[in-house]
Chain A
Amino acid sequence: MRIGVFICHCGSNIAATVDCAKAAEIAKSFPDVVYAADTMYTCAEPGQAAIEAAIHEHKLDGVVVASCSPRMHEATFRRTVERAGLNRYMFEMANIREHVSWIGKDKEANTNKTAELVKMAVAKLRNNSPLTAKTFDVTKKVLVIGGGVAGIQAALDCAEGGVPVILVERESTIGGKMAKLDKTFPTVDCSACILGPKMVDVAQHPNITLYAYSEVEEVSGYVGNFSVKIRRRASYVDWEKCTGCGACSEKCPSKKTPDAFNEFTGLTTAINIPFPQAIPKKAVINAAHCRQLTKGKCGVCAKTCPTGAIDYAMQDAFVTEEVGCIVAATGYELMDWTVYQEYGGGVWPDVITSLQYERLLSASGPTGGHIVRPSDGREPQTIVFIQCVGSRDKSIGRPYCSGFCCMYTAKQTILTKDHLPWSRSYVFYMDIRAPGKMYDEFTRRAVEEYGVEYIRGRVSAIYPDGQGRYVVMGADTLLGEQVEIKADMVVLAVGIEAARGAPGLAEKLRISYDAYGFYMESHVKLKPVETNTAGVFLAGVCQGAKDIPASVAQGSAAAAKVLALFARDKLENDPQTAQVDIRRCVGCGKCIRCCPFGAIKDSEIRGENKAQVIETVCQGCGLCTATCPQGAIQLAHATDNQILAEVNALCR
C-alpha cells in the first residue's frame, strides 16, 4: 500500500500544543507511509487540493488525515479522496484536536500521542478495503400509525405531496385525544371545529386509505421496502353498507354500555357511533355488551338497519400493505391515577380526570355541555383543580412533566367561569409551565380576569364531608400554611403515559423506547423525528409530551422526512454492514439471536444453514461480530482485523 499522511495545524488550534512537523516526520517511518506532510488548514480548499495533488503525484491508495474529530470532517475528507479517484473508505482520520491539542498543554506528550494516533490510523488503513454502496428500489407509499392530530397532519401532508398513505387507527374513528376536547388553549377555539375539517380531508383525500378499528400486526422489511400486516378488527358491521344513519343505535336495547369515547362519564348503546363528527362515520358493536353476541338473542339492530349491514358472524380480517416509510403517531394515555389513595383512589364519584371534565364541557358530551356533578347531577359551586397528578412525581416512578396540563387547566378554569359564572375555581399547582407563544399571557388571564385562585402546593387528602361535598386539604407553600377547601367537584390533571401497547409496537418497528414507553428519537435535538431504524419516523406524543401545535408541527416534520426520502427513486445503503464468510459460518444462529434489527436471517446454502445479512436492514453496530466465536461475520470497516491492527499498534 502507498499511504499519505496529512497532519493539520488547524491554525493554532492544534499547532499551539502539537509539533505537527515532527509528528509528520515520525509518521514517515510507519509501514507503507510514502508521504507525510503538515498543512495549515487541511479542510480548507487549498488543504483538500493538496491531498488530491498528493494522491496523484505519489500514487497514494490510502490517506490518513490527523486533524479534528471524524464526527466533524470525516465526510468532507472522504469526498476529497473520492474526487481524486480513491474509494471513500480508503481513508482514516486521527483526532488530534478534540482528543489531543485541546485537552493537554504538554507539547512533548501531545506530539508523541499524535504520532501514536496516526500510527493506529495507518495500521487500520492497511486493513481497509474499498466498499461500495448498493442501491435498491423504494416503494413510495407510507404507513401512518395513529389517527390523532399528529398522524392526521402527517397523513395529509404526505398525501398532498403525492404519496399514497395508509392510515391505521385503533379506534373506530380518527381524531384521537383532540377529538375529545371541548376547546383548545390559548385561543379557546372549538376543538371539533378545527380538527373536524382535517378529519374530513382524510376521508376524502384520494391518496389516503384509512383503516379504522385496525392495528398493526406485523412489520417486516427495511427502509423503502416494509411489508406491514394489518389486523382489521371485527366491528360486526359491514362498513361498505353502513351509512352512519344511527338507526341501529337508537333502537339498541343495551343502553347501559360504558361509553369509552366519553371517558366513561356516561352510558351508550352496544352498537354506536362514538360521536357525531366521527370519521369514518360507521357503527361498531361492542361485543361485550351486545345481547345478540353475548346471549345469542336480540338482533334488533340487524332488523333495524336499512342497508342490512349488521353481520354478527364477522371475524378479524388481515390485509398486507407494502410501504417505503412508516410514521408512528400513537399518542398517549392518561396514567392510572387511582394509585393516589389520598385523592380517593377512584372511589369518590365527583373526583374526575381532566379528560372526563373535558367531556362534560363538550356540547357533544354526555351532559350536552352542562357542568354537573357525576354523583347527583347538580351544578358545582366550587371546583378544585389539582395539577401534576402523576407528573413530576418520583414516588410513583413518573419523574417527567406531562407538558400541557398547566395550560389546559387554565383553559378549563376559564371555561368553567364561562359556563358557571358564579362558581369558584381553585388550582393547586407545583410550578406553572407556560413557555409557548401566548401561553403565559393565557394563564395570567385565568388569574387576573377570571379570578381563579392559584395555590402553590400539593393536596394531601380529599374526603367527603358527609353533606355531599368534599374537603380538599392541602398546603399553600407560598403562605406556608394549611389550606382546606370545601369543593363540589375535583378535577385531576392526570399525567400522561405512552399509549397502551406502545412498547409492543416499538418491538415490531424495531425502534427504541424509554422506561415509560415513549419512543426514542435518533437525536434529542438534531433528529427529533427520526428513529434509529431508517425509514421509521415519529410524530406527536408517542415521542414525548407535547401539545397540539407541537404535535402538528412534528406531524408535518415527519411528512417532510418521508417526502424527502421518496424524492429519490433509489436508495443507497451504508456499506458499513456485516458480511458473512460462509465458509467459516457453522449456522449456530448466535448472531441472529442478538441482532437488534433482525438484519440477519437463517438461509440454506448447499444444504447447510448459514447466516445471511440483509444489507439494507443492517445498521452496522457490529454486535454480531463480537458475538460470533469463529469470526465468520465481520462488520465492514470495523472488522476484527482492523480493530486488532489498532490494538497491536499500541500494545506489543
Chain B
Amino acid sequence: MPVMQGKELRIVGFLCNWCSYGGADTAGVARAEQPTDLRIIRVPCSGRVDPLFIVKALLNGADGVLVSGCHPRDCHYSAGNFYARRRLEVLKRFLPVIGIDDARFEYTWVSAAEGQRWQQVVTSFTERVHALGAAPRIEDAKPFLKVADMALKPLRTLGTGKNAPLEKLKEAIKAKLPELECVIGWQKGYDDIHTTPLFMKSAEEVDKLVWGPLNVVNTANYLSQFKGKKVGIVVKGCDSRSVVELLQENLISREAVTIFAMPCEGTLDVARVNEKLGRYTIVNAADSDGAGLLVTVDGKKHSLAMEELAQGKCRCCTHPSAVLTDVLVGDAPQAPAAAPTPPELALLDSMGLEERRGFWRGQMERCLRCYACRNACPMCVCRDHCVSDARDPHWMTQEADVVQKLFFQTIHALHLAGRCTGCGECQRACPVGIPILALRQQTARAVEELFGGYKPGFDPAAVPPLLGYEVEEQNIRETRI
C-alpha cells in the first residue's frame, strides 16, 4: 500500500505496550489531533525492539522510525528500556555510516499518562521527517567508488618477524602437546607467499609452524569448534582479543585452552600484495630483509615493504602482543596507547551521506553474497544458524539486491557491536575487496565513545556494554523530542 502521495510520508513506530502505547491511547481519548503518517507496531517492551527492525524499515522505504518506551526506571519489566537505550543509541550512531540520516530515527520515553506529550512527540517527529523529505533509497544512489588510502604511517615500526624466536615457540608447543588435542597455528600455503591454518597434533607437525607477516588468518576462528576439548592456540595480539571474546561469551573455557603467543610485527594486506604482483604462475623465491619480503615471482623480483603493504589494522595496532597468554615467547614490544581512526573508517568519515549511499550501493553491487566475511569472522558464532539464511526467523530474502546485501552487512555489524575486536578477517576474506570492516569499526567506535572507552577483547570477565546498562548513562543524552 503506497503512502498518500504528496500528503504523507512513511513513518513506523515501535511502542511498548505498557507505557507508550497507552500514552498514544491517552492522546486518542483526549482527541489530541496528530499527523496521520505514523503507523504503530505494538511490542511488549522497548527492549524487544531489535535495532535491526529499524534498519529493515529504513532500508525498505520508511522515511522515519520512532521507538518509544517507558521512562527509565518505570519499565514494566524493570530494565528493558535501559538495554534498549544503549542498543538504540549505538544504532543512532551507526546509521550515518551507511548513508542514512540519523535524524530519521528517534527513540524517546512516553508514559501511559502522557497523552499530551505523545501528541507533541508525534507532531514534532513527523514535522522533522517532513523537513527531511522522502528518504532517498540506497539502490537509487549514484554509484560512487572510492578506495581507502591505506598508506598511512604505522604507529610503530613494522617488521617481518625474521628474528622472532620461532624455534623456542616450537619447543614450548612440543612440551605442552601431550596434554592437548591439537594446537592451532599457521603453515606454508600453496606457495611461499601464502599460509594456511595448521592443526598440530604431533611434533613433526609442530615443525611445520611458520611465523611472519603472511600469518594473516585469525586462529581464534577455529577455536569454538573445539569446545569441550583441550586445545592450544598460537596467537598474534589481535587474535588473542578474539580468544578473550570467546571466553567472555562462554564459548570456550579458560581451562581448556592453552594460549601460545609471540609478539607480532605486522601482517601483509594480501589483497594489495596480489594487486602489486599481478597475475603470476609461480613463486620462485621468497625471503625477508626485516623490513619487508623480497619475493621473486615468474622470475621477476618484488619488494613487499611492510611500511607500504601492511594491513590497515596493523598500522593502527596497539596490542602486538597477546592480551592473555599461557606461554609467551619473545619480548613484548613497546606499543602506542591510542590508535588513530582506522583508514577504512576514515574514508567513510570523509564522505557525506549521499556519497556514502553511493559508495555502499556501488560496493554492494560487487558483493557476491558469498558470506566469506561471515565465515571468516571469529565472533560469528551462530555458524550454521545465521539469520541470513534462515526462514525462522526470516530476516532476509535470498534476492541478490543491494538492499539485501547491505542489510546483511548491517546485521553482521550490529550483531558484533561491543564484540568486534577489529581483527579485520571479514574484509580480508572478501574476494572482491569491499572495505566492510568500516561498518564494524563504526559500531566499535560508537561503543567505545558511549561506554567509557570500552574495547572488546581485553577482559574475559567484563560485562559487554550491550548486555548491561547503567541507570544513569554518562554519555547518552536522552529525549531529543
Contact = CB atoms under 8 A, between A and B. Distances in A.
A621 B45 contact: yes
A515 B71 CA distance: 13
A115 interface: yes
Given A622-B45, A650-B39, A588 B251 contact: yes
Contacts of B78: 510-512, 532, 596-597
B279 interface: no
Nearest to A581: B392
A110 B4 CA distance: 11
Nearest to A100: B36
A629 B1 contact: no
Interface in A36-75: 69-72
Interface stretch (A209-217, A293-301, A405-413, A633-641): A633-641
- Main secondary structure on B side of the interface with A: loop
Nearest to B31: A102
A622 B53 CA distance: 14
Given A586-B382, A623-B83, A643-B53, A99 B48 contact: no
Given A97-B28, A99-B28, A651-B10, A625 B50 contact: yes
A646 B50 contact: no
A627 B78 CA distance: 16
A125 interface: no
A304 interface: no
B76 interface: yes
Interface in A98-123: 98-100, 102-106, 108-110, 112-113, 115-117, 119-120
Contacts of A95: 25, 40
Given A103-B31, A623-B48, A625-B48, A589 B393 contact: no
Interface string B41-57: 11111011110010011
Contacts of B45: 621-623
A647 B57 contact: yes
A586 B385 contact: yes
Contacts of B50: 625-626, 640
Interface in A604-652: 607, 609, 619-623, 625-627, 629-632, 634-635, 638-641, 643-644, 646-652
A470 B471 CA distance: 43
B34 A587 contact: no
B390 interface: yes
B385 A652 contact: no
Interface string A359-390: 00000000000000000000000000000000
B28 A622 contact: no
A632 B45 CA distance: 19
Nearest to B469: A594
Contact of A584 (B44, B75, B228, B385): B385
B250 interface: yes
Contact of A116 (B1, B22, B48): B1
B48 A622 contact: yes
A593 interface: yes
Contact of A650 (B12, B27, B390, B471): B12
Nearest to A631: B393
Contacts of A120: 39, 41
A71 B25 contact: yes
Contacts of A652: 60-61
B77 A69 contact: no
A640 B56 CA distance: 12
Given A71-B25, A103-B34, A587-B250, A619 B77 contact: yes
A590 interface: yes
B33 interface: yes
Contacts of B39: 113, 116-117, 120, 650
Interface string A412-454: 0000000000000000000000000000000000000000000
B33 A641 contact: no
A353 to B, nearest CB: 29
A394 interface: no
B1 A644 contact: no
Contact of A110 (B36, B77, B471): B36
A647 B12 contact: yes
B77 A621 contact: yes
Contacts of A105: 33
What interface size band does chain A fall in? 35 or more
Given A70-B42, A586-B381, A587-B250, A651 B48 contact: no
Contact of A644 (B10, B24, B27, B56): B56
A98 B73 contact: no
- Which residue, of B10, B21, B48, has the highest number of chain A Cβ atoms within 10 A? B48
Contact of A641 (B28, B47, B79, B392): B392
Nearest to B392: A641
A581, A586, A625 pick with most chain B CB within 10 angstroms: A586
Contact of B385 (A109, A110, A583, A626): A583
B109 to A, nearest CB: 15
Contacts of B22: 71
A586 B394 contact: no
Contacts of B57: 647, 650-651
A71 B76 CA distance: 15
A201 interface: no
Interface string B388-406: 0010111100000000000
A127 B186 CA distance: 48
A72 B53 CA distance: 27
Contacts of B25: 69, 71-72, 95, 98-99
Contacts of A643: 41, 43, 48, 53
Contacts of B73: 512, 514-515, 520
A22 B39 CA distance: 19
Contacts of B34: 103-104
A621 B251 contact: no
A104 to B, nearest CB: 5
A113 B83 contact: no
A629 B415 contact: yes
Contact of B80 (A99, A109, A596): A596
Nearest to B26: A98
Contacts of B49: 626
B463 interface: yes
A122 to B, nearest CB: 12
A97 B40 CA distance: 13
B348 interface: no
Contact of B382 (A629, A648, A650): A629
Contacts of B61: 651-652
A103 B77 contact: no
B256 to A, nearest CB: 13
Given A109-B7, A512-B73, A626 B48 contact: yes
B87 interface: yes
Contacts of A589: 249-250
A99 B394 contact: no
Nearest to B87: A626
B381 A635 contact: no
Nearest to A119: B1
A644 B395 contact: yes
Interface of A: 69-72, 95, 97-100, 102-106, 108-110, 112-113, 115-117, 119-120, 510-512, 514-515, 520, 522, 532, 576, 581, 583-584, 586-590, 593-594, 596-597, 607, 609, 619-623, 625-627, 629-632, 634-635, 638-641, 643-644, 646-652
14 contacts: A97-B28, A103-B36, A109-B8, A515-B73, A584-B382, A584-B390, A593-B468, A607-B228, A626-B87, A640-B395, A641-B393, A646-B41, A647-B41, A650-B57
Given A103-B33, A630-B390, 4 more contacts: A71-B22, A71-B25, A98-B24, A623-B48
Q: Give the top 8 A-B pairs by smallest Cβ distance, nearest first.
A: A98-B28, A622-B48, A640-B393, A630-B382, A621-B77, A651-B60, A623-B47, A631-B393
Interface of B: 1, 4, 7-8, 10, 12, 17, 21-22, 24-25, 27-29, 31-36, 39-45, 47-50, 53, 56-57, 60-62, 73-80, 83, 87, 119, 228, 249-251, 381-383, 385-387, 390, 392-395, 415, 463, 467-468, 471
